[in-house]
């Protein structure tokens, strides 16, 4: 299974919030529901530390600014992160 692009750092640390963030990101990225359900079910089989470790094992750190660093503005040619158009 492909890892879901999601940065867990900075999210509400509540277990339900983490699972919800994982589900939303996976759905937006087209991960099939049975795969998402399997990860979430495995995450819930232990304590909080187990939940976090399962989610970390199935995510890839993602920073939205990284995408903006690589895209160029059509008007000024600067990266979208620094564009002031």
pLDDT band at 69 (very low <50, low <70, confident <90, very high): low
Mark 10-21 as b/e (b = at least 16 C-beta within 10 Å): eeeeeeeebbeb
pLDDT score, position 54: 97
pLDDT band at 76 (very low <50, low <70, confident <90, very high): confident
For the chain, the domains span: 4-70
H-assigned helices in the chain: 15-28, 33-43, 48-57, 64-70
pLDDT score, position 71: 73
Q: In this predicted model, what pLDDT tens digit does every residue of 24-59 receive, in sequence order?
A: 999 999 999 999 999 999 999 999 999 999 999 999
């Amino acid at each position: 299974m492909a890892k879901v692009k999601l940065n867990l750092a900075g999210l509400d640390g509540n277990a339900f919030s983490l699972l919800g963030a994982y589900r939303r990101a996976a759905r937006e990225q087209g991960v099939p529901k049975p795969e998402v359900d399997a990860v979430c079910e495995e995450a819930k089989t232990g304590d909080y530390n187990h939940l976090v470790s399962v989610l970390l094992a199935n995510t890839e750190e993602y920073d939205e600014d990284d995408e903006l660093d690589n895209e160029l503005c059509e008007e000024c040619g600067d990266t979208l992160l620094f564009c002031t158009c």
